[in-house]
Amino acid sequence: MSSVDASASYLLSSHDNPAIAAPAWLQDNLGTLVGVPLRILLIVLGAMLVRVLAKRAITRVVERVLQNGGDEPRRSTRGPAVLQRDKTRADERREQRARTIGSVLSSIVTIVIAVMGLAMVLDQIGIALGPLLASAGVVGLAIGFGAQSLVADYLAGMLIMVEDQYGVGDSVDLGEAIGEVEHVGLRLTQVRDLNGGLWHIRNGEIMRVRNDSQEWARAVLDVSVAYDSNLETVFDVLEETGLALRENPDFKDVLLEDPSVWGVQSLSPDGVVVRLVVKTAPLKQWAVTRELRRRVKDALDAAGIEMPFPQRTVWVRGGEEADVEGDRPSIPAGR
C-alpha cells in the first residue's frame, strides 16, 4: 500500500473514530496546555515571594529607625546637657516619619511588582504589550495633566518627610500659616496658630519653611535707652543681667551659652537701641526673652538708667489777628 493510501486510510479512520485523533492533538499542543499555565503560576508565585521579601526588608528598616532613634545621644555644646527637643514629641515625630515612609515604599513596591507580573502574564498568554503600553501611556498622561496638583502635593509631602524639614510639635512659619505643626501627611500639613485656628496647607503649595524648633534658637532683646546714658554702663548692666539669668536653676539648661551684648543696634529718634542676645534650646527663646525683658527693666531702674519716652516737638503758631491784638506769640512746646 502506498503512503497516499495509508494517509487516506488514517484520515478516514480518524474521522470515524475521534478517540484516535485526540492523542495526536494533545501531543501537538501539550507544551501550550501545560507549559503556559505552569509559567503563569511560577510568575505569580515569584511576584508574591518578591513582594513578601521587599515588605519584610522595609519593615526591618522602619523598626531599625525607630529603635536607633530612641538611643541617639543628645548633642552637646559648651556647658551642661542640651535640651534639643521634647522627647515625647521627638519620638512621635520619628515614628510618624518612619511609618509613613515605610507605608509609601511598601505601596510603591507592591504596584511595581504587580504591573511587572501582569505584563509577564499577558506576554505568556500571547497578548501584544505594545498597544497596551501605548494606551496606558496616553491614559497616564491625561491623568497626569488632570491631577498634576495632587501629584505635586504627594511628591512634596514625601520630600518633606525624607528631608525632615519639619514634624509634629515643631513651630514653623509657612507664610500665612504660623504656629505649631499638629500633623504631617503626604498631601496636607496641619498647623495650629496662636489663636487656636487649624490651618490645612497642601504640601505642593509650601514654597518655603522657617522652622524654629531644630537644634537651637536665639532670644533677641532690643533695649532703648536715653541719649545721655553711659553706654558702657548699659552694656555692663545687660551683661550682668544675662549672666544672672543663666545661673538661675530654672534657666540653667535652657540657655546654651552666656548672653552676649552685641552693642548699639540703631539710633532711633527716641533713644539708643542696644541689642542683647543668647542662644537657647528650641522653642524656649520666647520664654527667655520675656524673662530677660523683666530683669533688664528692674536692673536699669536700679542703675538709674532712663528708658526714654517718645519725644515730639509741637509748634503752636497764632494768626495775624493775635499779633495785632497783642495776644501771646507762638510758643514752641517741649516734649
- Predicted confidence at residue 12, as pLDDT, reads 44
Q: For the residues 5-15, what does the mean pLDDT come to?
A: 47
**204, 159 Cβ separation under 8 angstroms:** no
pLDDT in tens, 84-143: 445 665 666 677 777 777 777 888 888 888 888 888 888 777 777 777 667 667 666 666
> Picking from 19-28, 157-166, 225-234, 260-269, which range would have the lowest pLDDT averaged per residue?
19-28
Residue 277 three-state SS: strand
In the predicted structure, residue 10 carries a pLDDT above the cut 50: no
pLDDT band at 183 (very low <50, low <70, confident <90, very high): confident
Q: For the residues 242-264, what does the mean pLDDT come to?
A: 88
pLDDT band at 331 (very low <50, low <70, confident <90, very high): very low
- Predicted confidence at residue 8, as pLDDT, reads 45
What phi and psi values does residue 160 have, to the nearest 5 degrees? -60, -40
Nearest to 238 by CA among 255, 250, 221: 221
b/e burial code for range 120-151 (CB count within 10 A of at least 16 → b): bbeeeeeeeeeeeeeeeeeeeeeeeeeeeeee
- Predicted confidence at residue 144, as pLDDT, reads 65
Provide the whole-model pTM. Answer: 0.59
pLDDT band at 201 (very low <50, low <70, confident <90, very high): very high
pLDDT in tens, 277-299: 999 988 888 889 999 999 999 99
Nearest to 90 by CA among 71, 75, 70: 70
Q: Which of the two residues, 30 and 283, has the higher pLDDT score?
A: 283
What CA–CA distance (Å, rounded) separates 8 from 177? 90
Amino acid occupying residue 242:
G
Q: Which of the two residues, 39 and 179, has the higher pLDDT score?
A: 179
- Predicted confidence at residue 76, as pLDDT, reads 41
Mean pLDDT of the chain, nearest integer: 76
Pull the grid cell for residue 160: 518633606
In the predicted structure, residue 324 carries a pLDDT above the cut 60: no
pLDDT in tens, 62-90: 777 666 655 544 444 433 333 344 566 56
- Predicted confidence at residue 31, as pLDDT, reads 59
Q: How far apart are the first and last CA of the chain?
A: 139
In the predicted structure, residue 58 carries a pLDDT above the cut 90: no
- Predicted confidence at residue 32, as pLDDT, reads 58
Amino acid occupying residue 271:
G
Planar angle of CA 76, 82, 85, nearest 5 degrees: 120
- Predicted confidence at residue 277, as pLDDT, reads 92
In the predicted structure, residue 247 carries a pLDDT above the cut 80: yes
